[in-house]
Amino acid sequence: MKIETIQNELIDEFSMFEDWMERYEYMIELGKSLPLINSKYKTDENIIKGCQSKVWLHSEFENDKVIFSADSDAIITKGIVAILVRVFSNQSPQAILSANTNFIDAIGLKEHLSPTRANGLVSMIKQIKMYALAYQTQQ
């Protein structure tokens, strides 16, 4: 599935909720459904710098696709990284690098996050794009 299609699905899903408490609850549910990262990848080198809570992001490159796994020690942050993994995992490096992130504004995420969580979100996206760039360079 294309990145834009997944982003539109998320926009539709978030638009079903009346208020932000319901959206936070949905994000927490998404975080709970995030496949567990292998504990061997919960290392300092996989921690996203710039996040207040701990966020581990691991990537692998299989069949010309980047596969992400992630975890966080904070429930809201885990929901945020679950959204990003859903959007960017199983995509080509080029698709990840050329993807826009307007869906984050469309679901209202950035404006409803604390400044530290918003910074963490930016750091997560930056790291996802760095992995994609590294894999693209290897090709």
The residues that are catalytic are: 51
What residue type is 119 in one-letter code?
Answer: N
Helices (H) and strands (E) in the chain, counts: 6, 2
Q: How far is CA 48 from CA 4, 11, 12, 20, in A?
A: 24, 25, 28, 26
Instruction: Please compute Rg for the chain using Cα positions.
Output: 14
**In 33-100, alpha helices (H):** 75-88, 93-98
- Please give the structure tokens belonging to residue 42: 């919960």
The DSSP 8-state label assigned to residue 74 in this structure reads S
